[in-house]
A and B are shown apart, each in its own frame.
Chain A
Amino acid sequence: MTQRDIGKPLFNVVLIIVSASVFVAASAFPDVNIPGDLSAAFFPKFLSGLIFILAIPCLIKDFQEWRKGGQAVSSSSISLVRGASQWLFVILLLIAYVYAFERLGYMISTALFTFSCVVGLTVLSGTWGTLSTAVKSKALAGALVFSVVLAVTIFYVFTDLFKIPLPT
């Protein structure tokens, strides 16, 4: 799987681009002259420069490895697609959760997030279609109960036990 993972060299490309951008941005910092002191831009420029330099050999090595992987398609390509869709789904759900957190309040947004996460993973993992209607209803009811119980339990643990206020 790792042999054909184009993400490995691509990640190095991202590092190179970001480090170059950081170097340019740091070069624009105002220069405040204090005797004996390095400028505020010294470390950002030094570190981004080093990351840039070190990422190049990593890119070359990872790209060569990727090319050596040949045209063979991994036997687990179906699970790769499934894994990627599950991963992306959870990321999008998390962004939606942050957005909804202060707007809908803790209780509703948390219950919705948990329910969507559990049901969504069941659907995306491919098991949903194999279930009978009765089992599907049971699974939905179970996810609903779990979501509400989790949201209520955490709310009381944080607000009553640890005295940490949450938006309602």
Chain B
Amino acid sequence: MISGYLDGLGMVLQLSTLLAIAGGTLLGIVMGALPGLTSAMAIALLLPVTFGMPPVAGIGMLLGALCGAGASGSIPAILLNIPGTPSSVATTFDGFPMAQKGEAGRALGLAIVASFFGGVASMVILSLLAPPIAEFALRFGPAEYFSLSIFGLVIIASVAGKSLLKGLIAGMIGFLVSTIGTDPITGVGRFTFNELSLLTGVNLLPALIGLFAVSQVLKDTFEYDPNERLKESGHRIDIARPRFIETLKHWKAVMMGVISGSIVGPIPGAGGSIASLVAYDQTRRFSKTPEKFGTGHAPGIVSVESANNALLGGALIPTLALGIPGEAATAVLLGGLMIQGITPGPLLFADQSGTVYGIFLAYLLANVFMLLIMCLGIKLFIRVLMVPRKQLLAAILVFCFIGVYGVDGDVFNLYLMLGFGVLGYFLNRYNFGTAPVILGLILGPIAESNLRRGLQSFEGDWTPFFTRPISVAFLIVAIGLLALTLWQNYRSNQQSTPAGDDSV
């Protein structure tokens, strides 16, 4: 482990890597501060930029974006009562009342430091838990990998969207798209339509950018209303001084946030809003002054913000150790890892431990940069909120285009990106979700190749898939969770069936 950290340190402590992490963090902060723009979108937009970079620098940049977006959602939440990201909803409960009392700088200072503590604590938990999980996964053969892929697909499909059936359909659409191209075993062309660009399959980059960035821009375009402009915050902030001592005084709230985020993070699809709401609720429950919550009480902000950033480290555990992401942003990050030539999973820890520990350290540094950039540039990020929407949308679209085209100069990929953008728009609009599509695209080939390899080695016998203990355990848990989700949906439908409810 120590040699891994030393190797990783050598990779991280290079000027280009440090600049990449800082740049990613800055973009993540800007994107997270803008309501409606997501951390998944920030990562998708940065993917093309990371192509020429060494793996640790590229992944560090993406982690910086994830970390920055996780923290900066608190800016509009505190100043305007508008959560920048879904996980910042709970920040408005005490952040905005504190700002209304004339203490906006204090609220931001607490939020920044709590995010930092949450992020650092989750990095420690990540570095302690991910290696043993990956070591355990070294026992996996084709049967286990097939079952693990099915498990990942089923879990994300059942929890990512509003409807189990629609989530499953979205996952299968992704899986189906992943079969496009030359079949790796028989050499048969599948749905290639004599298009050279499709012979090697659908490129992951246009799919990621289309599904997570273009679809979001199309949604914003549909909803664009020039009369709905954000009003400038009336709160005066000279500098959001980091409140280390005051945050540490509320160490119980920090701990509650870290525990909530670290437990909720690895659960596929659970998401930041659940972690922060759990942290807020538990902190209030154990507080001696629960009546103060909702009135601008510091522990309310501290617990929520530490949970938001602790969640990221937790979500990275299954992503790096098993190759199964927890939600949309880590699904895009997984795509980024694969584009970088890094295949997440147990072999990554065995073969490239230096890179893995470099990624851990890059995540730690991303938290440090987040703290510095948020403290120094807070006034600038408040101005970002006022950027006219139509200019922003046009700029994001141009960035998407250049990013996709710049990688291999193939115009076909631009049409592919547009197609995925339109598909993603409708999938989101009709509650299918886009995260399961990406999971299907990434896990589909793993599931197919391992099933077919397994069947070849077992001479066409399917029984090992259902008799090997780890393989069958994954399948049983997946089926059990599917049944549980169906039962919960049935129960909620029985209790009330409002029109437009998609919970089936």
Contacts and interface: CB of A to CB of B under 8 A. Distances in A.
Contacts of A163: 52
Interface string A64-83: 01001100000000010001
Interface in B380-394: 390-391, 393-394
A160 interface: no
Q: What bracket does the count of chain B residues touching chain A fall in?
A: 35 or more
Interface string B401-415: 110011101010011
A61 B504 contact: yes
B226 A127 contact: yes
A84 B221 CA distance: 9
A35 B418 contact: no
A51 B402 contact: no
Contact of B173 (A51, A125, A126): A51
A114 B188 contact: no
A87 B218 contact: yes
Interface residues of A, number: 70
Contacts of B169: 15, 51, 54-55, 58
B418 A98 contact: yes
B397 interface: yes
B172 A50 contact: yes
A47 interface: yes
Contact of B165 (A36, A43, A48, A54): A54
A98 to B, nearest CB: 5
B176 A83 contact: no
Interface in B53-88: none
Interface in B485-504: 499-500, 504
B226 A125 contact: yes
A25 to B, nearest CB: 7
B179 A125 contact: no
Nearest to A3: B499
Interface in B18-70: 48-49, 51-52
Contact of A37 (B191, B224, B397, B452): B452
Contacts of B379: none
A84 B429 CA distance: 13
Given A34-B186, A35-B456, A121 B390 contact: yes
Contacts of B225: 79, 125
Given A35-B459, A98-B411, A29 B175 contact: no
Nearest to A22: B176
A114 B399 CA distance: 11
B198 interface: no
Given A32-B187, A98-B418, A121 B397 contact: no
A58 B394 contact: no
Nearest to A113: B398
Contacts of A114: 394-395, 398
Interface string B225-239: 110000000000000
A49 B102 CA distance: 60
Interface in B162-180: 163, 165-166, 168-169, 172-173, 175-176, 179
B341 interface: no
A58 B226 contact: no
A38 B176 contact: no
A44 B191 contact: yes
Nearest to A147: B394
A111 B226 CA distance: 22
A35 to B, nearest CB: 7
Given A37-B456, A58-B165, A29 B185 contact: no
Contacts of B422: 91
B224 A86 contact: yes
A65 B379 CA distance: 47
Contacts of B411: 98, 101-102
A59 to B, nearest CB: 11
A55 B167 CA distance: 11
Contact of A97 (B52, B172, B183, B401): B401
A136 to B, nearest CB: 14
Given A58-B166, A68-B499, A150-B395, 14 more contacts: A7-B430, A25-B191, A36-B455, A37-B456, A38-B451, A41-B190, A43-B444, A44-B179, A47-B172, A51-B169, A58-B165, A90-B393, A151-B398, A162-B49
6 contacts: A2-B500, A3-B499, A7-B429, A50-B172, A83-B222, A121-B393
| Among all A-B residue pairs, the 8 with the closest Cβ atoms | A164-B406, A40-B183, A32-B186, A40-B188, A36-B460, A117-B394, A83-B222, A121-B390
